[in-house]
Amino acid sequence: MVGIIIQVIGSYVATITAAITLEAPRSLIFKTGYAGAIGYLVYLLLANPMGAALATFFACSVVSLIGQFFARRFKAPVTIFYIPAFFPFVPGSAIYQTALYFIQGDYDLSNYYLIQTLSIAGAIALGVFFTDSILEIYMHVRFKMLNMRK
């Protein structure tokens, strides 16, 4: 339990650091940290039962929902919340392992980590795409329903 708390705090700090590096508005920097920390908590809770790629998909879907909510709530572009909050999910270690084992000539392990890297990267992209698509459909239907009442 303590390990999860430390990792979530680390994710919060990493997200804030990414927001500062990307020059997000000062008033929104700490808010971006919440999106990253909550998303990473979802990842940690789902990683063991589901595996890294599927957990990443659901965690990035949650980050997308939070990012969309914050963008509307704080009247800011959604990318201010998205980009820093996805930093904790980037498969940097798997990319490193892919290159390391490829250079060492261990192509089986290199291929394993390459597939893991591509799976996680794809899960990030699909999580964003899926959530944004569902929200776009919802907003479109809601807009039509409101216009029909007039």
- Write the pLDDT tens digit of every residue in 2-44: 899 999 999 999 999 999 999 999 999 999 999 999 999 999 9
| Extents of the domains making up the chain | 2-149
Structure tokens at 69: 């909510």
Write the CB contacts of 20 (distance below 8 Å, at least 6 apart in sequence): 29
Task: Assign residue 23 a region (left: φ > 0; alpha: ψ between -120 and 50; beta: otherwise).
Answer: left
Q: Does position 45 have pLDDT exceeding 80, yes or no?
A: yes
Burial code of 121-132, b = ≥16 C-beta within 10 A, e = fewer? bebbeebbeebb
For the entire predicted model, the pTM comes to 0.88
Instruction: Give the span between the Cα atoms of 144 and 13, in whole angstroms.
Output: 41
What is the sign, positive or negative, of the torsion defined by CA atoms of 125, 130, 131, 137? positive
Predicted confidence at residue 145, as pLDDT, reads: 80
Of the pLDDT bands very low, low, confident and very high (cuts 50, 70, 90), residue 150 is: low
Q: Does position 143 have pLDDT exceeding 90, yes or no?
A: no
Q: Which residue has the tokens 């000539």?
A: 105
Predicted confidence at residue 146, as pLDDT, reads: 76
Identity of the amino acid at 141: V
Structure tokens at 147: 């216009």
DSSP state of 23: T
Q: What is the mean pLDDT of residues 123-129?
A: 96
- Residues 128/116, Cβ–Cβ less than 8 Å: no
Predicted confidence at residue 144, as pLDDT, reads: 80
Residue length of the chain: 150
